[in-house]
Amino acid sequence: MEHIYLDYGSTAFPKAPGVGQAMADYIDQVGVNIGRGGYEAAYHTAEVVLDTRERLCRLFGWNRPESVIFTSGVTASLNILLKGFLRSGDRVAATSMEHNAVLRPLAQLAQSGVEVEIISCERDGSLPPERLEEALRRRPRALVMTHASNVCGTLLPAEEAAALCRRYGVRMILDCAQTGGVFPVDMLGWGVDALAFAGHKGLLGPQGIGGFLITGEMAMEVTPLLAGGTGSQSHLETMPDFLPDRFEAGTLNLPGIFGLRAALDYVERQGIHTLRQRSIARTDQLLRGLARIRDIRVVGRPGTEGRGAVVSVDFLHLDNAQAAYELENRWGIETRCGLHCAPKAHQTLGTYPQGTVRFTPGHATTEEEIDRAVSAIEEIAKEREGFTLHF
Ligand SMILES: Cc1ncc(COP(=O)(O)O)c(C=O)c1O
């Protein structure tokens, strides 16, 4: 049976052309570290790393490659930012659409005296700017917000939020896990203080590489979570103040960076607009197909307006885990079911505790694959709890 991969929201597959080769070439033909050795291969590797930082700056509308910090991904980045910035007695605001990459560090911080305010979103996942402003008037020290929900795809008003944060003197941390390489982000133009990105989703790169971009001012307000060797100022007991070394202790994931650079090259050549159009066209097709099916509830906004390529479905007469199992077992359709690491988002959308089956098309999803998915969903939706499993 052919596989129909509809789990791009978790990670993109296939990766961009050239990613695997770039990683293999680095491992087989280069293999050295940077910032340690003084020889040609190390300098060449350092140039590739700098070039990758520059490409990320272009993508996210930023102008300082040294303040692009590499980590393993969004989770590590948000932990570094939140735990390094917030102290006992501080207040922080977040939305009800956040991923556990935000909610769990905040829950830990709440244990050490940080006051956490969760701003409720609407039943379609949207965040009315007036509600956000109300929370910012209480002057939290930071707002941490996802740019798009990983459960229903709804975009949150990042640009307006950044403007409001400027007005109220609040630091803004943006989670771009679902929008990096897909939707335009203008860190400098919008006035975002820090943003976290993952290499393996919309950027079409490998897992295990991601990072954050941070303004020089905010960087000095974040105590480095990690301390260790940087290959610089080794006589000091403390981490260097300058970027990126302030936050990059230890050896970088260089195979990941080489792979990410190849992915960024592809994303730049294709253009994020073209790549987004591909996945949004398939999302539109899926939403239209689902609109005629009874016995399911499609959560989030009604169409593709204000939405990324994420479609969550609640099967009304069937356990969603069973529906996902059937889709895979009988049609080879690969989805993700459950709470998608975002329990409060499901509470907001009215799909807690049952969760949903999430379909996330991507750059390589075909029209035929979506047609087949719609037919399969239609057939399953008609079935009822307790029907015979087909093995
Ligand atoms: C909105 C959101 N934030 C954070 C993350 C965590 O990203 P990573 O697994 O790269 O750390 C994800 C991953 O699915 C996500 O969708």
For the CA of 210, the nearest atom of ligand 1: 10
pLDDT higher than 50, residue 390: no
Which of 9, 344, 283 has its CA nearest to residue 145?
Answer: 344
Name the residue of 10, 341, 346, 360 whose CB sits within 8 Å of the most ligand 1 atoms, as the mutation to test its pocket.
341
pLDDT higher than 90, residue 369: yes
Give me the percent of the chain exceeding a pLDDT of 90: 96
- Residue 282 burial by Cβ neighbours in a 10 Å radius (0-12, 13-18, 19+): buried
Evaluate: CB of 210 within 6 angstroms of ligand 1. Answer: yes
pLDDT-based confidence at 383, cuts 50/70/90? confident
Mean pLDDT of the 211-228 span: 98
101 CA to centre of ligand 1 in angstroms:
6
Going by CA atoms, what residue is nearest to atom 7 of ligand 1?
74
Which of 323, 347, 345, 346 has its CA nearest to residue 335?
Answer: 323
pLDDT higher than 80, residue 387: no
Going by CA atoms, what residue is nearest to atom 12 of ligand 1?
177
pLDDT for residue 388: 44
pLDDT-based confidence at 386, cuts 50/70/90? low
- List 171's β-bridge partners, or say none: 142
pLDDT higher than 70, residue 111: yes
Evaluate: CB of 335 within 6 angstroms of ligand 1. Answer: no
pLDDT-based confidence at 389, cuts 50/70/90? very low
pLDDT higher than 60, residue 198: yes
Evaluate: CB of 150 within 6 angstroms of ligand 1. Answer: yes
Name the residue of 79, 150, 173, 212 whose CB sits within 8 Å of the most ligand 1 atoms, as the mutation to test its pocket.
150
Structural domains of the chain ordered from first start: 4-13+271-382 (3.90.1150.10), 19-270 (3.40.640.10)
Sign of CA dihedral 106, 111, 114, 119: positive
pLDDT for residue 379: 95
Mean pLDDT of the 17-37 span: 93
Evaluate: CB of 73 within 6 angstroms of ligand 1. Answer: yes
pTM of the model: 0.96
99 CA to centre of ligand 1 in angstroms:
7
Going by CA atoms, what residue is nearest to atom 14 of ligand 1?
10
For 22, 74, 176, the CA distances from 124, given in Å and listed in that order, are 41, 24, 19
Mean pLDDT of the 156-171 span: 98
Evaluate: CB of 358 within 6 angstroms of ligand 1. Answer: no
pLDDT higher than 60, residue 333: yes
pLDDT higher than 80, residue 191: yes
Residues sharing a CB contact under 8 Å with residue 141, sequence separation 6 or more, in sequence order: 85, 86, 90, 91, 92, 170, 171
pLDDT for residue 35: 80
Evaluate: CB of 7 within 6 angstroms of ligand 1. Answer: no
pLDDT-based confidence at 385, cuts 50/70/90? low
Residue 235 to residue 16: CA distance in whole angstroms: 42
Mean pLDDT of the 269-277 span: 98
Going by CA atoms, what residue is nearest to atom 16 of ligand 1?
150
Evaluate: CB of 99 within 6 angstroms of ligand 1. Answer: yes
For the CA of 101, the nearest atom of ligand 1: 4
pLDDT higher than 70, residue 391: no
pLDDT-based confidence at 267, cuts 50/70/90? very high
pLDDT higher than 80, residue 187: yes
pLDDT for residue 57: 98
pLDDT for residue 326: 96
